[in-house]
Amino acid sequence: MQKKSIMVIDPSIETPEISSFNHIGSLTSIQCTYHLPALIKNNSMEFEFPNTQGIIIMGSASSVHDNLIWQADIQKLLLKSIENNIPILGICYGHQLIAHMFGGNVDNLWENKKKKGTRIVTLLKNELWTNSKTGQLIYSHRESVTSCPNDFEISARSEMVSIEGLIHKNKPIWTFQPHIEATFPFAERNLISTSDFEISFQFGTTILKKFIQLITS
């Protein structure tokens, strides 16, 4: 019998976030599988699904409104995961995709202008952490979730974005707009200072660890 694994989906359309995948893998002793559905056309996600005990979907420069084939493939996989109660964590694009699938609105925040940097985010109390927490996280996006989908609750907020995170009321699904998985190469490309990166990396890693602990305990 094959060992269970965590499926990491990287929807990058230009530069794969291999460093972020390696970072996620360093936080668990369980095998992580890496998938690039926008760049490599194969059935790796479908092939690995029977051995998957958790899914992490990272960011992308693509929009959930693009209606591309690889996006439909991810949605199909997520629906199957939801049916099987497999825990899901959506980050940035993953956050927006899940909200979009469940009927939430995803719209431009800044008139087609992408913004990037760091911001202070407040995590509201839920089952991943016992009390509300506030910390700095990296962001890089143009669109955002502008209405909470049915069956979800808002799990994080900031002064800049009212829906920074979502949690499903009955299913093991969590999402975050900020890049909690970001590593130094990502921060460097987005002109984020080393000091800001280090602070954000620490807080983001804390959130990632909580999700991984939940699905591997």
pLDDT, tens digit, for every residue of 9-39?
999 999 999 999 999 999 999 999 999 999 9
Measured between alpha carbons, how far is residue 28 from residues 81, 197, 212 in Å?
21, 22, 7
Tell which residue, 17, 76, 26, has the closest CA to residue 46: 76
Is the distance from CB of 74 to CB of 98 less than 8 angstroms? no
Catalytic residue check, 181: yes
Tokens of 193: 């200072």
Q: How confident is the model at residue 1 (pLDDT cuts 50, 70, 90)?
A: very low
Q: Backbone phi, then psi, for 66, in 5-degree steps?
A: -75, -25
The domain spans of the chain are: 5-216
Catalytic residue check, 32: no
Q: Which of 32, 92, 95, 164 is catalytic?
A: 92
Please list, in sequence order, all residues whose beta carbon lies within 8 angstroms of the beta carbon of residue 147, skipping any fewer than 6 positions away: 104, 105, 163
Q: Is the pLDDT of residue 117 over 90?
A: yes
Per the listing, tokens 């991810």 go with 74
Catalytic residue check, 92: yes
Q: Given this model, what pLDDT does residue 168 score?
A: 96
Q: For residue 139, what are the β-bridge partners? A: 117
CA 186, 192, 194 angle in degrees (round to 5)? Answer: 95
Q: How confident is the model at residue 2 (pLDDT cuts 50, 70, 90)?
A: low
Report the predicted TM-score, pTM, of the whole model to 2 decimal places: 0.95
Q: How confident is the model at residue 207 (pLDDT cuts 50, 70, 90)?
A: very high
Q: Is the pLDDT of residue 132 over 90?
A: no
Q: Is the pLDDT of residue 50 over 60?
A: yes
Q: Which of 35, 141, 168, 179 is catalytic?
A: 179
Q: Is the pLDDT of residue 42 over 80?
A: yes
What's the mean pLDDT in 201-214?
94
Q: Is the pLDDT of residue 62 over 60?
A: yes
Chain segment 66-99, per-residue pLDDT in tens: 999 999 999 999 999 999 999 999 999 999 999 9
CATH classification (class only), 5-216: alpha beta
Chain segment 142-193, per-residue pLDDT in tens: 999 999 999 999 999 999 999 999 999 999 999 999 999 999 999 999 999 9
* Residues 47, 70, 174, 26, Cα dihedral to 10°: 60
Residues listed for the chain: 217
Q: Which residue has the higher pLDDT, 111 or 152?
A: 152
Tell which residue, 108, 110, 128, 109, has the closest CA to residue 176: 128
Q: Which of 17, 143, 164, 181 is catalytic?
A: 181
Q: Given this model, what pLDDT does residue 151 score?
A: 94
